[in-house]
Amino acid sequence: MMRSCSLHLSSTLLAFSCLFSASQSAFSDVVFTNLRQGSNATFFVFPVDETVLTPPPTDGTIISTSDTDGDASASMDTTITQMGDTWTISSTFDSNRPIELDLTNSILDIEFNLIRDMAWTLDISIDWPATGLDPTYPPGFVETWLDAPGGSRLFYIASTGAVDATQTISRSGIAQGGAGYALNFDIWDLKVYVDVNGVETTHPGSVSGTLEFTLTPAPVPEPTSMVLFGVGAIGLLGASRCKGKSPSV
């Protein structure tokens, strides 16, 4: 009888362990549903070279867009990779804006669904050009945000570039599981006017930078206590089954 009880309890604990491990693995899933990336080196407001992928590759494949117009250029490369339970979106971007153009532009929009709560971090680094002007005249503009369910936003940043300087943007937080999110990033390299001996002209400039957005499983409160509680409950269940059995004759 005791041996039978032990076998029942062992098999029950093994089943619980397998279910717990499987649920933890499933909870780490992130499902990327859509990616839109564009590059623009002309007068047009919308990107000339645009890629839309539904769903995007998540195996590290490089997603590239680029556009040129004379001496002007704009390009962007993005990858989505997974390392263990951590997902990483990495982008590099650059543009060269000659004198005769209004702006160059790069955009990145990525939509994804979360199965469980995830911690996220965003790090952006931008090298802005010198313009020959007072720093109050910005060489460009950057805008980035993370949309949450119901039209709310976890963060929104709109910032002008710093002349001849490296600009950094860092944010972090927790995104709830069971919902869809959208990460957006836009950057413009603007035409800058320079007054030279009373004659207004424009100053060319180039901008380059990187973006990295990571998603990792959010910490679960007191996981050890939860496991011990589950094991204890199963132990009581096994003991009650043993007590309810009639002795073998």
Residue spans of the domains in the chain: they are 2-26+222-243, 31-217
Q: What is the 3-state secondary structure (H, E, C) of the chain?
A: CHHHHHHHHHHHHHHHHHHHHHHHHHHCCEEEEEEEEEEECCCCCCCCEEEEECCCCCCCCCEEEEEEECCEEEEEEEEEEEECCEEEEEEEEEEEECCCCCEEEEEEEEEEEECCCEEEEEEEEEECCCCCCCCCCCCEEEEEEEECHHHCEEEEEEEECCCCCEEEEEEEEEECCCEEEEEEEEEEEECEEEEECCEEEEECEEEEEEEEEEEEECCCCCHHHHHHHHHHHHHHHHHHHHHCCCCCC
pLDDT tens, residue by residue, 21-56: 434 444 447 999 999 999 998 766 566 899 999 999
**pLDDT above 80 for 223:** no
Q: Are 39 and 105 in contact (CB under 8 A)?
A: yes
pLDDT, residue 126, reads: 95
Listed residue (110, 100, 111, 37) closest to 74, CA to CA: 37
pLDDT, residue 27, reads: 43
User: What is the pLDDT confidence band of residue 18, given thresholds at 50, 70 and 90?
Assistant: very low
pLDDT, residue 99, reads: 64
pLDDT, residue 45, reads: 58
pLDDT tens, residue by residue, 81-118: 999 999 999 999 998 876 666 678 899 999 999 999 99
Bigger pLDDT: 132 vs 8: 132
Q: What is the mean pLDDT of the chain?
A: 78
Work out the average pLDDT over 72-87: 95
Q: Are 230 and 23 in contact (CB under 8 A)?
A: no
User: What is the pLDDT confidence band of residue 130, given thresholds at 50, 70 and 90?
Assistant: confident
Work out the average pLDDT over 162-177: 91
Q: How much is the pTM?
A: 0.75
pLDDT tens, residue by residue, 191-212: 665 556 655 556 667 889 999 9
Work out the average pLDDT over 125-137: 72
Q: How many angstroms separate the CA atoms of 82 and 31, rounded? A: 11
pLDDT, residue 14, reads: 43
Q: How many angstroms separate the CA atoms of 82 and 103, rounded? A: 35
pLDDT, residue 57, reads: 97
Which of the listed CATH numbers 2.60.120, 2.50.20, 2.40.160, 3.90.1200 matches domain 31-217?
2.60.120
pLDDT, residue 121, reads: 98
Residues above pLDDT 90, as percent of the chain: 47
